[in-house]
Amino acid sequence: MATVEKQRQRKYRVLGTRPVRHDGVDKVTGRARYGADTHLPGMLYAAMLRSPHAHARIVSIDTSAAEAMPGVHAVVTREDFPDVSNRIVELGEGAVNLGHLSQNVMARNKVLYKGHAVAAVAADSIHIAREAAQRIRVEYEILPPVLDVLEAMSDDAPVLNEDVRTEEFGGGTGDRPTNVAKHFHYEKGDVEAGFARAAVIVEREFRTATVHQGYIEPHAATALWNPDGHVTIWTCTQGSFTARQQTAELLGLPVSRVRVIPTEIGGGFGGKISVYLEPVAALLAKKSGRPVKLVMDRSEVLEGTGPTPGSYIRVKMGADRDGRITAAEAYLAYEAGAFPGSPINPGCMCIFACYDVPNGRIDGYDVCVNKPRTNAYRAPGATNAAFAAETVIDEICEQLGMDPLEFRLKNAAVEGTRRIDGVTYSRIGMKETVEAILNSEHYRSELKGPNRGRGVASGFWFNVGLKSTVVATVNPDGTVSLVEGSTDIGGTRTSVAMQLAETLGIAAEDVQPLVADTDSVGYTDVTGGSRVTFSTGIAAIEAAKDIQRQMCERAALIWDCPVDQVRYEDGRVVGPDGQAFTFKELAALVPSTGEPIVGRGTSGKANQGGAFATEVVDVEVDPDTGKVQILRFTVAQDAGCAVHPSYVEGQMQGGVVQGIGWALNEEYIYDDQGRMLNNTFLDYRIPTCYDVPMIDTIIVEVPDPNHPYGVRGVGEVPIVPPPAAIANAIYRAVGVRMDRLPMSPPRVLEKILQSRAAAPAQ
């Protein structure tokens, strides 16, 4: 059973309870409208033509046969896109090179991966659109692809982007075209002296495969282009404002001319921040004069969006006899895909972030390869890094004969610890998550049986703050309508509404949350970085305080007393001489006593303190097939303050199972020409419910001092430890150290056979 570590002292009335989510009924009845559910009068259906080659120059595109087909209304290609310079713009969660973004949305001179968009057609039906797309003639000059991160770094590798030069950390750029877009470098202390002091040093190399976010809802966008130049777009995006900005920039329009209406969103995990379809649908709508809907199929999702980088990582770590880390060093090379921008920097900053490392050095490289342009995936960059570091730690513990959790306790980062990249922590809960697992029934239980093993690992993710807006209106029936800009992927309408309710002292059910479009609410950054419950929550608290202030003023008016004699307390407005209104009583008087009461809240100053998780897993390995079965899994995570514990557990469980998929099955398989061989959900196999057990959760609550109620984002960090925890469990089960993801049956079996061959004859 999912457990909350210790019974919360009921400090709060609403926070920590488990109300039914406000959008729940819509979602269990099929009424909620997702991206592909948009339907407009006169709407056309569109389809894309995508590159069959991983790397080629486009010599010519002939659209005449497609245009001549009955039922076809518009065709767009590179000719229709304005040339946007290589401007770098901040898009909420990281800076983006607009030229590259535009080329990714529609190929210009070259295609850089199989699945790269080349043209799009709008027609009366999806079938006509698809047929017409196939009639577009594209002449390609095929170029050799490069698919491996280390090969792509070599001097004689084919270069993808002529405009890319290596940017050195802290200034300076290379002088020739290259696939190595960026080099990051962090250093702390005296690394050589640290290693010299070590009693044990372990150095290992690791590889991880390209994997996809795997949201069940494919990307979808519907656009309407009015003759007055106003564009409206319905899309399943993680951030309507970033979708607006990207679309406007790529089309050369002012942002005010683009209105983005976010639909419900069927999962994103970081993969629905970049635009793919929105600008294309808009141009088709402009050309045809009709609304146009453009939806991807699953293969397009796998081949044209996401994924998260494959990587090469080398880690060296030393510890003294007592098990204190003396030095650590890492080299990380991440595949950016077609254009620069892998999460290499977060990977570098996360790799040793759980520990107090006195001497450290980290080098990271962002490398282009002929795969889809990578995108964020739940704690982007951290899972690859943790797989390497946490496996090396396990080997050090083995050599020291030390319990891996004791080692983690001894070296855990705490408040005041300075990371290798220079950041000093505020109050964090790394240690507490380790203690929670150490004390768990799971870790204390005995694991019996052959070929079974138990592994542990920890993980870190930053969590971001960024900007949000909330507007809240008091209704005469004593409820509050809350308007926010954060798209709701996993219950954030409710976690935000609960914070407003807590602040006003009313019931969660008395708040009615609504996600509004870009013309209806103030600027709000993406739903990502585990930020919504934290940052949109702060905006909701601010809006509630604004309501409190106005309610006090109103009561003072009614009681005819100075406002400083009125205060808001426990859901009541209290005045002199024992006079008081409940929230509901005063709300009912609002219409007859003055202006409407509307609270306004924004956030953007606060940064989050970071999230940690420690996880333990029991596995059984079939020594004849290499198949790994997960027997039991427990995750302990610092949630700061679990606003809605069920949805906190849900994030932990969902993140863990994604991590299990990453660990055991998921991978892009390519032929030598860069064609993905497993572009369906049958062959790109994410975990089913038959593959996993119940996921036990332990919520740890170390309040984040940056949030009024101590909330920490919970969405991302649970995905970080599983691959390492499972690798460590496999070692305990069958004695082989896994250094490659996924740890699929053939790979595990290969290691088992190698170890048998190497073992001395009995």
Partner 1 sequence: MAKKRVVSAVINGEPTDFLCEPRQTLLEVLRDVLDFTGTKEGCSNGNCGACTVRLNGRIVDSCLVLAVECDGAEIETIEGMAGPDALHPLQQAFLEGAALQCGICTPGFLVAAKALLEENPNPTEQQIRFFLAGNLCRCTGYDKIVRAVQACAAAASEH
Do residues 198 and 326 touch, judged by C-beta distance below 8 A? yes
Q: Per rule CB under 8 A, is residue 155 in the interface with partner 1?
A: no
Pick left, alpha or beta for residue 599 (phi over 0 → left; psi -120 to 50 → alpha; otherwise beta): beta
Q: Contact region for partner 1 (CB under 8 A) — 310-318, 512-520, 616-624, 687-695?
A: 687-695
| Size (the chain), residues | 762
Q: How many angstroms separate the CA atoms of 306 and 342, rounded?
A: 11
The residue behind tokens 């895909």 is 337
* Binding site partner of 548, from ligand FES, partner 1, none, Cβ cut-off 5-8 A by kind: none
Q: Per rule CB under 8 A, is residue 16 in the interface with partner 1?
A: no
Question: Nearest distance from residue 265's CB to ligand FES, in Å?
Answer: 9
Which residues have C-beta within 8 Å of that of residue 672, sequence separation ≥ 6?
A: none
| Number of residues engaging ligand FES in binding (CB under 6 A) | 2
Do residues 427 and 704 touch, judged by C-beta distance below 8 A? yes
- Which of 158/267 has CB closer to ligand FES? 267
- Which of 209/413 has CB closer to partner 1? 209
Q: Per rule CB under 8 A, is residue 265 in the interface with partner 1?
A: yes
- Which of 269/407 has CB closer to ligand FES? 269
525: Cα separation from own chain's centroid? 14
Question: Nearest distance from residue 134's CB to ligand FES, in Å?
Answer: 22
Pick the binder of partner 1 from 5, 80, 93, 264 (CB under 8 A): 264
- Which of 279/715 has CB closer to partner 1? 715
Do residues 726 and 743 touch, judged by C-beta distance below 8 A? yes
Q: How many angstroms separate the CA atoms of 276 and 221, rounded?
A: 9
Pick left, alpha or beta for residue 199 (phi over 0 → left; psi -120 to 50 → alpha; otherwise beta): alpha
* Binding site partner of 142, from partner 1, ligand FES, none, Cβ cut-off 5-8 A by kind: none
Pick the binder of partner 1 from 655, 703, 721, 723 (CB under 8 A): 655
Q: Per rule CB under 8 A, is residue 40 in the interface with partner 1?
A: no
* Binding site partner of 680, from partner 1, ligand FES, none, Cβ cut-off 5-8 A by kind: partner 1
* Binding site partner of 94, from partner 1, ligand FES, none, Cβ cut-off 5-8 A by kind: none
| Binding-site string for partner 1 from residue 695 to residue 734, where x marks contact by CB under 8 A and - marks none | x---------------------------------------
The DSSP code for 36 is G
Give the 3-state secondary structure of residue 543.
Answer: helix
| Number of residues engaging partner 1 in binding (CB under 8 A) | 61
Q: How many angstroms separate the CA atoms of 736 and 450, rounded?
A: 15
* Binding site partner of 657, from partner 1, ligand FES, none, Cβ cut-off 5-8 A by kind: partner 1
**Residues 293-352, interacting with partner 1 (CB under 8 A):** 297-298
Q: Contact region for partner 1 (CB under 8 A) — 260-268, 390-398, 426-434, 549-557?
A: 260-268
Both structure tokens of 24:
């729940």
| Residue type present at position 702 | V
Q: Per rule CB under 6 A, is residue 88 in the interface with ligand FES?
A: no
Q: In 3D, which of 148, 128, 5 has the Cα closest to residue 69?
A: 128
Q: Per rule CB under 8 A, is residue 489 in the interface with partner 1?
A: yes
Q: How many angstroms separate the CA atoms of 165 and 97, rounded?
A: 14
Q: Per rule CB under 8 A, is residue 686 in the interface with partner 1?
A: yes
| Binding-site string for ligand FES from residue 419 to residue 438, where x marks contact by CB under 6 A and - marks none | --------------------
Q: Per rule CB under 6 A, is residue 267 in the interface with ligand FES?
A: yes
Q: How many angstroms separate the CA atoms of 389 and 382, rounded?
A: 10
Q: Per rule CB under 6 A, is residue 216 in the interface with ligand FES?
A: yes
Question: Nearest distance from residue 267's CB to ligand FES, in Å?
Answer: 5
| Residue type present at position 179 | N
User: Kind of pairing, strands 567-569 and 572-574?
Assistant: antiparallel
- Buried-state track 710-719, b at ≥16 Cβ within 10 A, e below 16: bbbbbbbbbb
The alpha carbons of the chain give a radius of gyration, in whole angstroms, of 27
Q: Per rule CB under 6 A, is residue 24 in the interface with ligand FES?
A: no
SS3 percent helix, strand, coil of the chain, rounded to 5, is 30, 25, 45
Do residues 511 and 480 touch, judged by C-beta distance below 8 A? yes
- Binding site residues, partner 1, CB under 8 A: 2, 18, 20-21, 23-25, 27-34, 36-37, 39, 126-128, 213-218, 264-269, 297-298, 489-491, 644, 646-647, 649-651, 653-658, 680-682, 686-690, 692, 694-695
